[in-house]
Chain A
Amino acid sequence: MKLYRWIPAAFLSVAIVGAGCSQEEEAGSGEEAQVEDGESGELVVYSARNETFVDEYLEKYEEDTGIEVHALHADDTAVNRIQEEANNVQADIFISNDVGAMEHLRLDGLLDGYEADNLESIDEDYRAEDDSWVALSARTRVLMYNEDLVNEENVPDSIEELASPEYADQFAITRGANGSMIGHVSALRQEWGDEQTVEWLRDVSDNAGIITDGHGEIRQAVGTGEVEFGLVNNYYYHQQLQEPENNNVSVVYPDQGEDEMGAVLNAAGVGLVADGPNRENAETFMDWALEEENQQMFSNESLEVPINPDVEAVEDAAAIDEYETHDMPLHELGEVWDDTLEVIEASGMDLEVR
């Protein structure tokens, strides 16, 4: 009985102290907002990337500039939050895994052009028309397999073959609404047309042994032998190699034959959100992100390949010119983003995990 008397009192006092502190904090941020025009202040970043890929990167920005970063690690919901918040913009910077997503936001008028320092270090193909987004590192869609379970010849060498009954239940893919998946499907639509793509999606979602939320789970599942192979972005393969165990994995770059489409490429990068609350800091961020040292950090944290050829890649990452890639200009993915989502949904492919 005594216990039950003091405990509510205890948490009440905690809560009251909490309320007090947060008021101070709120007041503090208000003052900061006033001096925002000056050097310091804050920056709100929405990131669709894996949190572990951007944590240190954003910390470095904080150290370099003294600007406090508030990051929302929102997976693929980041794109949609920016859309949904158009009338009440919250974010200053968008970090994306997917050029299509960035271009899509730009076409909706949600990103704003800005000519950052050192912009020319990135090839025009990998920037927005108005430079509102810049891609910094490339990723390729590959099939990673477990060498204990299958030989290379038993892994499909084209994406189309994933739909074949031969591979039923042997592989893992992500859910349809995963950003990388949307990009990939967009490329397939361009190559095959909608009808064939829908049919492929339908078969593949029946065929897949596991459908996951993200690629981290696929990496695990292939590494441990839960499935024989999985469709991932190439750096997940490099990551799995670095694991202390369950690392007997290898990789197939699909569709490498003479007349075939080549492996589908995508890129990660940063975009400047229009009408964000801390515009000046957002511009500082874009300038900072294009410094070569920071370009390198951006791609190294995730083992991706830097788009800027002058920036050195990590040891394990295969260079882009070593294999055939799909020739569709990446920014064209933006126009078809919404359509692609509809196509995926129409195919009945799970948007969820399984």
Chain B
Amino acid sequence: MSRRNEREKGVRKLWYRLWRGRPPGPVLLFLGLLIAFIMGVPLLYVVVRSFSAGADGWMNILDERIPGLLWNTLSLTLMVTVFAVILGVSLAWIVNRTDIPFKKGWQWLLALPLVIPPYIGAAVYIMIFGPVGWASEWWQDGWLERAFGEYPIEIYSFAGVFFVLTLFTFPYVFLISMASLRKMNRNYEEVARSQGMSTARIFWKVNLPFLRPAIGAGVILVSLYVLSDFGAIAILRYTTFAAAIYYQMGSFDNLSATVLSTVLIAITLVVLWLEAKTRKKNVQYHQTSNAYTEPETLRLGKWKIPALLYVFTVFFFSVLVPIIVLVYWTVIGIGEGAIDREFWEYTWNSLRVAGYAAIACMLMAIPIVYLKSRYPSPLTTVIEKLSYAGYALPGVIVALGIIFIFNEHIPWLYNTHYLIAFAFVILFLPQAMQAGEASLSLVSPRMDEAARSLGHPPWKVMVKVILPAIRPGILAGGALVFVSAIKELPATLILRPPGFDTLAVRIWYETNEFFYQYAAPAALVIILISLIPLRFLLKKY
């Protein structure tokens, strides 16, 4: 009897030590574990299934497919990431630190490409530079063909994919760099200047090290984007892992698809690990907040025109051109009756699935975020990391996992549009969590304690104190999820039930069939809806 008591005591002690003396309530813990399970299972399922391919299957695919795919994927990821960082950092620096005309305007104009999904960007540039595009028509009609021979631009190429992806991913780096530059204290630059350093040297020696964390975050966002992108890559007839997985499912070789997925997941983990490793090596740069003065604005002088030209060129290709082209085709499309009853049905479908996902993400983010901030422990870390699974996964893999699980174990939900929303939750929950976390970090734990000491049970504290305080953050997170979901293509494509099309799916189909006038209105609607969270993003960064 006493021995059992002692053992119980021991377990209890361990349990308390795990939570540093303050374990969470059972309901909260259960919710957290449940969510982590839901988020992690599709991923695990894919990996486990891939091992059923057996050694032969693996060797076959490793030999035949992996080398080429690996080269395609890695070279593209590297090139796009490098150039997106160069564009993003240089532009952020110019519009932040120099006396470039229309400075404030550029700061948000250059963030605009963020609302144009790369697959729409790809479609636009095929309309312009493709073999039946405007440029080639103009080339063949004019003297150019006689003078220089055949139309030289090959949009369906590495260069084409590289161009499009860089153009529509650099704003990630731009936004984060802007935020860092804004926070940077003038004192350092002044000290450097007093030492006789030139502007260029100051940029390399002072600004850049400060920007290191921002660049790191940008690298992660851009490279994970390229690794997981399906739409732009497939429309431009290029093949990376994510596209190969989709095609492999197309020939319904699901086993090979899982093997390719496992390799892609491994690559993703390597990217994340590399970034974390380089971050540790760098010394942390701190700034003292008490003596903050705003950095000095640099006079451009004779560089004004080139700088302006540079900024405008990027804006031109990444915002103006796509919008103009889409409006042009939309006008034609409206003339041909593209906006009919079905168009509104697709729009409604898009809004529906994105809406479900946004609500689910908001509800699920709350317990996870609360656990993480108030009850740190190894178990919490596991829950949190699993909730982030979707952050690093391509939609294609998530869809694959969902098909396996629902078709085999929950057949009555299979082939319903709820599964699309479910995929969105896995893919975009991290966005809701980040927004919620930011809000919660502003609420002192003392507020919970004070409420508890007044005799409120934990759930009441949650409802009466915490929720009202973090509501703006949670709602903003929901808006982010909503917008990401509206744009999502591959998971929607794979999981849509018969008769259920969304705007993203229509853009994909019409572009592939060269019916630009039908793709353009849908693309414009998606872009307009995506403007919703931009304000929030600009505020946050």
Contact = CB atoms under 8 A, between A and B. Distances in A.
Given A14-B355, A46-B498, A341-B251, A212 B411 contact: no
B512 A11 contact: no
B512 A70 contact: no
Given A81-B252, A88-B411, A224-B132, A351 B498 contact: no
A27 interface: no
B64 interface: yes
A213 B513 CA distance: 11
A216 B498 contact: no
B346 interface: no
B254 interface: yes
A354 B233 CA distance: 11
B122 to A, nearest CB: 13
B467 to A, nearest CB: 15
Interface string B19-37: 0000000000000000000
Given A77-B249, A88-B407, A72 B497 contact: yes
A216 B356 contact: no
Interface in B471-485: 472, 475-476, 478-479, 482
Of B244, B498, B499, B513, most A-chain CB atoms within 10 Å: B498
Contact of B239 (A14, A79, A353): A353
B123 interface: no
A87 B479 contact: no
A220 B539 CA distance: 46
B188 interface: no
Given A88-B414, A177-B250, A220 B132 contact: yes
A45 interface: yes
A76 interface: yes
Nearest to A8: B475
Interface string A7-49: 1110110111011011000000000000000000000111000
Interface in A190-223: 210-214, 216-217, 220-221
Nearest to B360: A15
Of A88, A175, A341, most B-chain CB atoms within 10 Å: A88
Interface string A150-182: 000000000000000000000000010100000
Given A18-B356, A352-B239, A71 B408 contact: no
Contacts of A8: 475-476, 478-479
10 contacts: A15-B351, A15-B355, A73-B509, A75-B250, A76-B250, A79-B252, A90-B414, A213-B512, A224-B131, A224-B132
Given A22-B352, A210-B237, 20 more contacts: A4-B535, A11-B478, A11-B482, A12-B355, A12-B478, A15-B355, A21-B352, A51-B513, A70-B500, A72-B498, A72-B499, A75-B250, A90-B415, A90-B498, A177-B247, A177-B251, A210-B156, A216-B512, A353-B234, A353-B237
The 8 nearest A-B residue pairs measured at CB: A15-B355, A80-B252, A70-B499, A177-B251, A8-B475, A72-B498, A70-B498, A88-B411
